[in-house]
C-alpha cells in the first residue's frame, strides 16, 4: 500500500527484493548505528519493520544519534550474501542512503535501550512508556490487543448484538468496589461517579426494548492492583440479552470466547469446546478449593471430614478435613519442600500417607488410623499402589483455601498442569447473601441485581444463607474472565431482596431510582455477562502481568508515573467544584 508523502514513500513492510534499483524515501527511528570506517550503517525502524541503511558517504551520519526520528532517501540494493539477516523480512536488501533529514532529534540520554526495555525496572519503563512502546515485543502486544478487540466487535455484531455506548459520568452506587467520584461544578456538594460497569444502563436498555446490546466498555474501580488486575480502569466485553436465560448467556459466551481463543491462541493450543463444564460454587470450593479452578490441573480434592471424626487422630477432630491424592514418586526432600510451602501459607503442618506395594501405608499419621478403617480411606480416596494422599485440616473456609493452594503447588511442582491449553468452565449457583460479622447483617455476595433462585418464595421462606442466585463466572486457566447473572427484573422480588440486605424501599428508590422506576413499566427478563478484555489478552499472550498488555497502565500503586497522576489541582479548580482539602 503506497502512502507517499513528504516524509516517506512506503512503510518497511512493503519493501521487498522486487524494489531493488528503485529510488525510495523511508522514515522511522534509528535503532542502531555501526561505523565501519569508510562506510557506516544504521538500522531504521518504523512500526512495521526494520531495514539496514548503508551510508557510503559517511557525512550523511553527521548529527544523527540513536532513536532520532529521521527521513532517508536512497536506492534499494541487494546486500552481500554473507551479510544476509534471516531474522527480518528485509534481510536480503538494504537502502543506500543519498540524503538524510532529522525530523525529531534526541536531546538527552535515553533512559534505557529500546531493544532491551522489558529488562528495565518497571517504574522506569512506565515513566517513559512512550519509549517502552517502541520495543518490538511491547508494541506487538498492543497490535495483538487491537486485533482481538476488532475481532470481538465484529463477532458480536455478526451474532446480532447492537453496539451502544453508555455514559461515563453516572451516579455513585453503594454496592461493589469503591467509586471514583467526580465533583459537580453546577451542583454544590454533589458528585458524579465513573462507572464500575455499565450495569444499570445495560439493564435499562433491555427495558427500552433493545434485544441484544454490547460494548467494549471502560470500567473504573478504586481497587488495589494484582498481577491480573489493573488499578483504576479496565475494559470488558459487556453484553446483555432480553428474554434470555442463564443457558442462553452460556451459549453466547461459549461462542464468542471459543472463536476468539481458537483464532488468537498460540499455535497448537487446545481450547475447550462448547459446551463448557458447569461447576457449582459449592462443588468448586470442595473439589478445587477455589471458585476460580484451573482445569489444566488434573488433581481433585476429596472431603474426608466424616472419616476423621470417627478416627483416633485427635488433631483432626472438630475440623474440616480435605485430602488430595497424587500418583507420583516423591522423595523425602520433596515432602520437606512441600511442608515448608504449607507452613509459608499459614498451615501448621501437612499430613500424608503413601500406599506401598502390599497396599499398606507409611507416613506420619499411619499409626493413628486403625487397621479396620484403612480400607475405608482407600475407597473414599480411590487409593492405589504408588499413590500419596495429603491431608489438610482447619475450619471450613481455611481448609478449602489451603487445599486449593496445595493442589496448585502439587500440580506445578510435579508438572501435572496441561501445557499450551485453555480450559474454560462456568461457575454458577453462587450464594445470594453472606453474613458480615462486622456489620452484623446479611450483605450481597456479588451483584445485588441478580435474580434469586426460587424468586419471592425463596426470599420469604429460606434462611438468607441458603438462598442461591442466578449468578455465574467464566473461568479460564484459574483466572476469572467474567462475572454475569440473570437479572432481577421483578420489582416485588427486588424490594424483598434488598430488604434482606438492610435496604428499605425508600433506599431503593433513592440509590437505584432509575431501575426502580423502569421496572414499573414492563421490564423483560434479561441476562448478561462481561468478559474482561485485558485478562483475555494477558492469557492469550501468556503474560504474567496485566500491565504488559495495556498501552498506558498505572503502576501497582495506582499512579500514572508518565503523566504524574494523581496530581494536585489549582485553588480555583477546587473553589469551582466547592471542595476544600482536609489537612
Of 329-333, 387-391, 548-552, 565-569, least confident by mean pLDDT is 329-333
Q: Which residue, 530, 560, 575, sits at the end of a domain?
A: 530
Q: Does the pTM of the predicted model rise above 0.95?
A: no
- Report the DSSP pairing between strands 162-163 and 212-221: parallel
390 & 305 share domain: yes
Which residues does 165 contact at the CB level (< 8 Å), separation at least 6?
Answer: 215
Indicate whether 433 and 412 sit together in one domain: no
Tell me the Cα Rg of the chain: 30
pLDDT above 80 for 490: yes
- Same domain for 434 and 413, yes or no, is no
Q: Which triple of cell numbers denotes residue 235?
A: 475494559
Q: Say if 250 falls within a structural domain.
A: yes
Lowest average pLDDT, out of 148-162, 198-212, 266-280, 371-385, goes to 371-385
Rounded to whole angstroms, the Cα distance separating 486 from 248 reads 10
Q: What is the mean pLDDT of the segment spanning 6-12?
A: 95
**Residue length of the chain:** 583
**What does the pLDDT read at residue 452?**
97
- pLDDT score at 315: 84
- Which pLDDT band holds residue 3 (cuts at 50, 70, 90)? low
Give the span between the Cα atoms of 500 and 503, in whole angstroms: 7
Domain residues for the domain of 403 are 297-417
Output the DSSP codes for 392-411.
Answer: EEESHHHHHHHHHHHHHHHH
Statement to judge: residues 261 and 374 lie in one domain: no
pLDDT of residue 225: 79
Residue whose C-alpha cell reads 522423595 in the numeric block: 331
Are residue 258 and residue 323 in the same domain, yes or no?
A: no
Q: What are phi and psi of 508, to 5 degrees?
A: -60, -45
**239 is a domain residue:** yes
pLDDT for res 82:
86
Residue 342: per-residue pLDDT: 95
Look at residue 2 in the predicted model and tell me its pLDDT.
55
In a domain, residue 62? The reply is yes
Question: Is the per-residue pLDDT at 273 higher than 90?
Answer: yes
Q: Which residues of 167-195 are buried (b: 16+ CB within 10 A; e: fewer)?
A: eeebbbbebeeebbeebeeeeeeebbbbb
Is cis: bond before 300, omega within 30 of 0?
A: no
Q: Label residue 48 by pLDDT band (50, 70, 90).
A: very high
Peptide linkage before 275 cis (omega within 30 of 0): yes
pLDDT value for 174: 66
Residue 446: per-residue pLDDT:
84
Backbone phi, psi, residue 53, to 5°: -120, 130
Range list of H helices, 416-532: 455-461, 491-500, 505-511, 513-518
Instruction: Please state the three-class secondary structure of 81-141 as a single string.
Output: HHHCCCCCCCCCEEEEEEEEEEEECCCCCCCCCHHHHHHCCHHHHHHCHHHHCCCHHHHHH
How far apart CA 487 and CA 448 sit, in angstroms, is 9
Instruction: Please say if the pLDDT value at position 1 is more than 60.
Output: no
Whether residues 504 and 519 fall in one domain: yes
Residue 383 is part of a domain; what is its CATH number?
Answer: 3.30.1360.30
Query: Are 432 and 412 part of one and the same domain?
Result: no
pLDDT beyond 90 at 320: yes
* Measured distance CA(169)–CA(461) in Å, rounded: 40
- Can you give the pLDDT at residue 330? 87
Average pLDDT over residues 228-247: 93
State the average pLDDT over residues 198-206: 96
pLDDT (mean) for 123-132: 97
Residue 497 φ/ψ, nearest 5 degrees: -60, -40
What is the bridge-based pairing of β-strands 278-280 and 424-428?
parallel
The percent of the chain in helix, strand and coil, each rounded to the nearest 5, is: 35, 25, 40
How far apart are the C-alpha atoms of 31 and 29, rounded to whole Å?
A: 6
Backbone angles phi, psi at 505, to 5 degrees: -65, -30
CATH of the domain at 99: 2.40.50.140
Output the average pLDDT for the chain: 94
Helix (H) or strand (E) holding 156: helix 136-158
CA angle 342-314-374, nearest 5°? 85
Window from 175-184, 275-284, 339-348, 542-551 with minimum mean pLDDT: 175-184
Are 219 and 483 within 8 A, CB to CB?
Answer: no
- What is residue 489's three-state secondary structure? coil
Tell me, yes or no, whether 392 and 429 share the same domain: no
Is residue 557 in some structural domain?
no
What are the φ/ψ torsions at residue 191 (nearest 5 degrees)? -135, 145
What is the CATH number for 493? Answer: 3.30.930.10
pLDDT score recorded for residue 357: 85
CB atoms within 10 A of CB 396: 13
Do 227 and 546 form a contact (C-beta atoms < 8 A)?
A: yes
- The reported pLDDT for the residue numbered 313 is 80
Q: Are residues 434 and 519 in the same domain?
A: yes
Whether residue 282 is contained in a domain is answered as no
- Is 80 exceeded by the pLDDT of residue 176? no
249 in the same domain as 205:
yes
In this prediction, residue 482 has a pLDDT band, given cuts at 50, 70 and 90, of very high
- Comparing CA positions, the residue from 161, 164, 180, 178 lying closest to residue 217 is 164
pLDDT at 38 over 90: no
- Examine the domain organization and report whether 339 and 361 are in the same domain: yes
Q: Which residues pair with 476 in a beta bridge?
A: 424, 479
Instruction: Show which of 497, 512, 530 is a domain's final residue.
Output: 530
Q: Which residue, of 104, 130, 165, is where some domain finishes? A: 104
Query: Domain for residue 545, yes or no?
Result: no
Which parts of 146-286 are beta strand (E)?
Answer: 162-163, 181-183, 191-193, 212-221, 232-242, 270-271, 278-280
Residue 84 lies in a domain: yes
Reported as a pLDDT band with limits 50, 70 and 90, residue 457 is: very high
The enclosing H or E element of 306 equals: helix 305-309
pLDDT of residue 35: 86
Q: Is the pLDDT of residue 226 over 80?
A: no
Return the pLDDT at 175.
62
How many helices (DSSP H) and strands (DSSP E) are in the chain? 16, 24
Q: Which residues contact 287 (CB under 8 A, 6 or more apart)?
A: 279, 293, 300, 301
Number of domains making up the chain: 3
353 phi and psi, to 5 degrees?
-135, 140
| Same-domain pairing of 436 and 524 | yes
The pLDDT of residue 173: 77
The 3-state secondary structure of 351-389, one letter per residue: EEEEECCCCCEECCCHHHCCHHHHHHHHHHHCCCCCEEE
501 lies in some domain: yes
Give pLDDT, residue 129: 98
Amino acid at each position: 500500500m503506497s502512502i507517499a508523502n513528504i516524509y516517506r514513500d512506503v512503510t518497511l513492510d512493503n519493501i521487498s527484493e522486487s524494489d531493488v534499483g528503485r529510488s525510495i524515501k523511508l522514515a522511522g527511528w534509528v535503532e542502531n548505528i555501526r561505523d565501519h570506517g569508510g562506510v557506516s550503517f544504521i538500522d531504521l525502524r518504523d512500526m512495521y519493520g526494520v531495514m539496514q541503511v548503508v551510508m557510503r558517504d559517511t557525512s550523511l551520519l553527521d548529527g544523527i544519534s540513536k532513536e532520532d526520528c529521521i527521513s532517508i532517501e536512497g536506492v534499494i540494493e541487494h546486500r552481500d550474501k554473507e551479510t544476509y539477516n534471516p531474522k527480518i523480512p528485509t534481510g536480503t536488501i538494504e537502502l543506500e542512503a543519498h540524503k538524510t533529514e532529522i525530523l525529531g532529534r534526541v536531546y538527552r540520554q535515553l533512559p534505557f535501550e529500546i531493544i532491551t526495555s522489558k529488562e528495565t525496572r518497571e517504574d522506569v519503563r512506565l515513566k517513559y512508556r512512550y519509549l517502552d512502546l517502541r520495543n518490538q515485543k511491547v508494541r506487538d502486544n498492543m497490535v495483538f490487543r487491537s486485533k482481538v478487540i476488532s475481532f470481538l466487535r465484529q463477532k458480536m455484531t455478526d451474532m446480532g448484538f447492537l453496539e451502544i455506548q453508555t455514559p461515563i459520568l453516572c451516579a455513585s452506587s453503594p454496592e461493589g468496589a469503591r467509586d471514583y467520584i467526580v465533583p459537580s461544578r453546577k451542583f454544590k456538594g454533589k458528585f458524579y461517579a465513573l462507572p464500575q460497569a455499565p450495569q444499570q444502563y445495560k439493564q435499562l436498555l433491555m427495558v427500552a426494548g433493545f434485544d441484544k446490546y454490547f460494548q467494549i466498555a471502560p470500567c473504573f474501580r478504586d481497587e488495589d492492583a494484582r498481577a491480573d488486575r489493573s488499578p483504576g480502569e479496565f475494559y470488558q466485553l459487556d453484553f446483555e440479552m432480553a428474554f434470555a436465560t442463564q443457558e442462553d448467556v452460556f451459549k453466547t459466551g461459549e461462542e464468542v470466547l471459543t472463536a476468539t481463543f481458537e483464532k488468537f491462541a498460540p499455535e497448537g493450543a487446545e481450547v475447550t469446546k462448547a459446551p463448557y463444564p458447569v461447576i457449582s460454587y459449592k462443588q468448586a470450593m470442595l473439589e478445587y478449593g477455589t471458585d476460580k479452578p484451573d482445569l489444566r490441573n488434573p488433581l481433585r480434592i476429596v472431603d474426608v471430614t466424616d472419616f476423621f471424626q470417627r478416627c483416633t487422630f485427635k488433631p483432626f477432630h472438630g475440623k474440616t478435613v480435605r485430602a488430595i491424592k497424587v500418583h507420583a514418586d516423591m522423595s523425602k526432600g520433596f515432602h520437606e519442600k512441600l511442608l515448608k510451602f504449607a507452613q509459608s501459607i499459614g498451615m501448621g503442618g501437612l499430613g500424608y500417607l503413601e500406599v506401598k506395594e502390599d497396599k499398606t501405608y507409611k507416613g506420619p499419621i499411619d499409626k493413628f488410623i486403625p487397621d479396620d478403617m484403612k480400607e475405608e480411606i482407600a475407597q473414599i480416596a480411590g487409593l492405589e499402589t504408588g499413590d500419596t494422599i495429603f491431608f489438610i485440616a482447619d475450619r471450613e473456609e481455611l481448609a478449602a483455601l489451603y487445599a486449593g493452594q496445595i493442589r496448585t503447588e502439587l500440580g506445578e511442582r510435579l508438572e501435572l498442569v496441561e501445557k499450551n491449553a485453555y480450559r474454560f468452565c462456568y461457575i454458577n449457583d453462587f450464594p445470594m447473601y453472606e453474613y458480615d460479622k462486622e456489620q452484623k447483617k446479611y450483605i450481597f455476595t456479588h451483584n445485588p441485581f441478580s435474580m434469586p433462585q426460587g424468586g419471592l418464595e425463596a426470599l420469604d421462606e429460606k434462611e438468607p444463607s441458603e438462598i442461591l442466585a442466578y449468578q455465574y463466572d467464566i473461568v479460564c486457566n484459574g483466572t476469572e474472565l467474567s462475572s454475569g447473572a440473570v437479572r432481577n427484573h421483578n420489582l416485588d422480588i427486588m424490594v424483598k431482596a434488598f430488604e434482606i440486605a438492610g435496604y428499605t424501599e425508600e433506599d431503593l428508590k433513592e440509590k437505584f431510582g432509575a431501575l426502580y422506576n423502569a421496572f414499573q413499566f414492563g421490564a423483560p427478563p434479561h441476562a448478561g455477562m462481561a468478559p474482561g478484555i485485558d485478562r483475555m489478552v494477558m492469557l492469550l499472550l501468556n503474560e504474567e502481568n496485566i500491565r504488559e498488555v495495556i498501552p498506558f497502565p498505572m503502576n501497582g500503586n495506582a499512579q500514572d508515573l508518565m503523566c504524574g497522576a494523581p496530581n494536585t489541582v489549582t485553588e480555583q479548580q477546587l473553589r469551582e467544584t466547592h471542595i476544600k482539602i482536609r489537612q
